[in-house]
Amino acid sequence: MSNADLDVVCIGNAIVDILSHAEDADIGRLDLTRGAMTLIDADRAQDLYQQMGPAVEASGGSAANTAAGIASLGGAVAYVGKVRNDQFGGVFTHDIRASGVEFTSTPATEGPPTARCLIFITPDAQRTMNTYLGACVNLMPEDIDSTQIGRAKVTYMEGYLWDRDEAKQAYLKAAAVAHDYNRQVSITLSDSFCVERHRDSFHELIKGHVDILFANEAEITALYQVDSFDAALQRVRAECQIAALTRSEHGSVVVAGDEVHVVDAVPVAHVADSTGAGDQYAAGFLYGLTHGHGLAECGHLGSIAAAEVIGHVGPRPEVTLSDLVAKQRLTHSSAQKVSSTAP
């Protein structure tokens, strides 16, 4: 088997985010589903955009955000996703490559424009997302390059891909190729509404094809249709090699068979925008895992990356995460040094 020169290949919907601050009242007035990711068509996208306040644009897409985070931590990472050859596609392509991510997917030259996600950030820093998939509907199994998948220790995918059959087939192809190469396969459940739409299919996937699962509390309890986080935890540990379950400000729980780690969140002075928190947690975790760290440290790296991204508007790191991690280690070791010289 060839060497893995990539730590992770991420596959997902290639999206440009349009982020705007909104009032709580806007959520009801515009008939949005608070805190969720809702798929919308072109007409609804145009209508919602017209009613949205002034915005900023930033490259997004769940798995693409994770790829950018892994690169920022110093990992070797590739991304697979479909844009069109329009201005937003140019923005997406520039940003992912400028982040240090290998991105070689061919842009569509016809059909719908590059995908956009209209994100309303309410005063509680919660994001309500409305995605027009646009060119993402053209992501097909033939966009999966088996050689590239074989180069990566982990193939990571977003559950959102499940919303389209061709993307789902692309996903299954990538998972099969990865396992042929004896690599690991990872998925995030993405959104509890996404779980509701695809529960049986996700369940089957997790039992048969997933080595590393990411989910938040709402998603994992929705998957198993249980009321308590603990009940879901007991279920998932029997079905999945590694599960990293996030709980917002309560941190995360990482479970791998008999091994369980409760990981604290990293405190944040001011939460500005929760967009991308889960994506960056996955970035930190996968970077740790592909660099030989123990599961507790993987979770801690996830917490550091998530804390950075919720401190500002936008779904990707604003600082170099490897510097941030080095600084935290330095602070930690000098604190230990001080205490060891204290009486």
Write out the residues near its own copies by the rule CB under 8 A.
Answer: 20-21, 49-50, 52-59, 68, 86-88, 91, 94-95, 98-99, 113, 313-314, 316, 318
One-letter amino acid at 335 equals: A
| Residue 121: strand pairing partners | 21, 127
Residues belonging to the chain: 343
C-alpha pair distances (Å), 8 with each of 155, 160, 203, 218, 332: 6, 18, 23, 26, 28
Strands 77-80 and 102-103: parallel
Minimum CB–partner distance for residue 93 and its own copies (Å): 10
Minimum CB–partner distance for residue 328 and its own copies (Å): 20
Tokens of 262: 């409760």
Minimum CB–partner distance for residue 24 and its own copies (Å): 15
One-letter amino acid at 237 equals: R
Give me the helix-helix angle, 87-98 and 62-72, nearest 10°: 30
Minimum CB–partner distance for residue 286 and its own copies (Å): 19
Minimum CB–partner distance for residue 99 and its own copies (Å): 5
Give me the helix-helix angle, 217-224 and 229-239, nearest 10°: 70
* Residue 58 or 205 with smaller CB distance to its own copies: 58
Minimum CB–partner distance for residue 258 and its own copies (Å): 41
Q: How far apart are CA 160 and CA 223, in angstroms?
A: 14
* Residue 21 or 151 with smaller CB distance to its own copies: 21
SS3 340: helix
* Residue 130 or 186 with smaller CB distance to its own copies: 130
Tokens of 126: 């919660």
* Residue 49 or 224 with smaller CB distance to its own copies: 49
* Residue 98 or 262 with smaller CB distance to its own copies: 98
* Residue 52 or 232 with smaller CB distance to its own copies: 52
C-alpha pair distances (Å), 96 with each of 142, 223, 292: 21, 31, 25
Minimum CB–partner distance for residue 319 and its own copies (Å): 8
The rounded Cα 88 to chain-centroid distance in angstroms is 20
* Residue 237 or 312 with smaller CB distance to its own copies: 312
Q: Are 16 and 117 in contact (CB under 8 A)?
A: yes
* Residue 86 or 145 with smaller CB distance to its own copies: 86
Minimum CB–partner distance for residue 250 and its own copies (Å): 29
Neighbours of 81 (CB within 10 A): 27
